[in-house]
Amino acid sequence: MIDIGVNFHASQLKGLGAELLQRASAVGVTDVLATGTSLAASRQELAFAREQVDGPVRVWATAGVHPHDAKAWPGTEPFEALWADPLVVAVGECGLDYNRMFSPAADQRRVFLTQIAAAIRLDKPLFLHCRDAFEDFHAMLRDASRAGARGVVHCFTDGAEQAEAYLALGFDIGITGWVSDIARGSALRDALRVVPLDHMHLETDAPYLRPKNAGKTRPYNEPALLPFVAQAVAEHKRVDLNEVAAQTSAASRRLFRLTALPVAQPGVQRSS
């Protein structure tokens, strides 16, 4: 299985990277994407990915600015070196979030457009975020799709109508432990019936959104709990768990172009 979203820079996971990957490997997780949400976080996630070139799980990174931090957008220049690195496989996390409005909507849209343009120019997928901003977000993705953009709507929590709208534009859907939340996940569970496995990606969004079906575990979410997300998807789509794992992993490898790890960066040792 592939976990397309882990926030290793989050305070809950600080200093735990190596053991998190050991536990993830033990349950069949082969690859994870370390999510960049700001310039500082993107640099941290890429550094972590470089450190783990010989680790038990392959680590890739994304680089971008979350809509919460749009007001502090540093410009594209400091991101260019990150986006050029072969371990950085997506632009983002980027998008719109009108829920808590940590950044003004105008700033969010401006920064999102800038990152869309970068993804198209670099031919890298977008790692997308949307919360309470569907109309503006969908309109911007419609234009992006026409220009050749691709990507995944990460941590999708809406219903079937919104899922179909994104799929129609050619964007994939990321499923988290939210699907196992009986109290809050009903819309997402309904959406599963319209999201084909070959356009679905599994993610923990660790340390957040710990799967409810995981029972009592550590107080944070982690990649080792990804099988519980897969199990919930299998149950609600009424398909075999192995089929869920195989098809979602294939979708992630295809979208993010996860093949062999690139040649080691300067100062990074790799075993033969």
pLDDT of 264 over the 80 cut? no
**Closest residue by Cα to residue 100 from 135, 63, 66:** 66
* 116-160 tens-digit pLDDT: 999 999 999 999 999 999 999 999 999 999 999 999 999 999 999
The reply to whether the predicted model has a pTM over 0.75 is: yes
Tell me the domain boundaries of the chain: 2-256
pLDDT of 96 over the 90 cut? yes
| pLDDT more than 90, % of the chain | 94
Residues 133, 96, 183, CA angle at the centre, nearest 5°?
Answer: 60
* 157-177 tens-digit pLDDT: 999 999 999 999 999 999 999
State the CATH architecture for 2-256.
Alpha-Beta Barrel (3.20)
* 200-256 tens-digit pLDDT: 999 999 999 999 999 998 999 999 999 999 999 999 999 999 999 999 999 999 999
Mean pLDDT of the chain: 95
pLDDT at residue 259 in the model: 86
